[in-house]
Amino acid sequence: MSKRKKQSDGALAGKVALVTGGASGIGRATVRAFADAGAAVAVMDLDERGGEAVAREIVERGGRALFMAGDVSSAEDCRLTVERTVKALGGLDILFNNAGIIRRASVLELSEKDWDRVMAVNVKSVYLMSKYAIPVMEQAGGGVIINTSSGWGLVGGRRAASYCASKGAVALLTKAMALDHGERNIRVNCICPGDTDTPMLRQEAEQLGEPIEEFLAEGAKRPLGRIAQPEDIAQAALYLASDAASAVTGISLVVDGGGLAGSG
């Protein structure tokens, strides 16, 4: 922990953020980045051990944080999480819809159950969390919503049919929400990461039956010559959450080391 640089610039001082999928990977890195920038952070995840650990870490470092176990595909869990965040932390200014899963399969290989689960966690969750968060933001005079899409939400990928469909939906849902809620001072953007060294990326290798080191090496074949770290994506989320992006809404911010630079 001591090796992690603390960015205590106060960019989010006085703000309250809610991060779904905050127990690991990109979500965990973003919880830390938001807290370092002065925000109080609520963490939602099914992983109770990981979620409680990151919230405790923030508190031990002098910040404000709490963990709430919940399923982002459940309307009741989403409603309760927003309500508890507002009650415990005093409001809700920033929602990072980051929770996501992947099933590496073509439509022929994919079960209907897996299709439904991917769409529920990756897309329905954005709708549900936003549905309950937006009225709180409107009452407060504005807010920020950030959604996690993917490079594969902008271009296709092999044996990832449900994931590509879900992340493409998130990218366009982001644009629609930006149009619907901009006049109430709510900015809505999405981040499109490329391969990022997270537990989910390693799960992909397992699903495909590929050696992890070979899988990661293949993912590093892009202009910058490396896959991203969770902190790289967290910094993009911090920018979109801050006043530095006060005129930015409806965009898909690609953070992929140049992986899509030669596409389209």
CB 125 within 8 A of CB 73: yes
Provide the residue-wise pLDDT of the chain in tens; the chain has 264 residues. 334 444 447 999 999 999 999 999 999 999 999 999 999 999 999 999 999 999 999 999 999 999 999 999 999 999 999 999 999 999 999 999 999 999 999 999 999 999 999 999 999 999 999 999 999 999 999 999 999 999 999 999 999 999 999 999 999 999 999 999 999 999 999 999 999 999 999 999 999 999 999 999 999 999 999 999 999 999 999 999 999 999 999 999 999 999 999 986
**Which residues are designated catalytic?**
163
Fold held by 16-195+229-255: Rossmann fold (3.40.50)
Angle at 20 between CA 16 and CA 22, to 5 degrees: 90
Q: How far is CA 52 from CA 24, 49, 108, 140, in A?
A: 11, 5, 39, 28
**The pLDDT value given to residue 8:** 47
Domain ranges of the chain: 16-195+229-255
Strand partners, 41: 17, 65
**The pLDDT value given to residue 7:** 44
Q: Could you write out the DSSP letters of every residue in 101-153?
A: ------TTT--HHHHHHHHIIIIIHHHHHHHHHHHHHHHHT-EEEEEE--GGG
Residue 196 DSSP code: B
**The pLDDT value given to residue 3:** 42
Give the torsion through C-alpha atoms of 142, 46, 59, 78, to 10 deg.
30
Residue type, 223: P
pLDDT tens-place string over residues 188-223: 999 999 999 999 999 999 999 999 999 999 999 999
CB 197 within 8 A of CB 229: yes
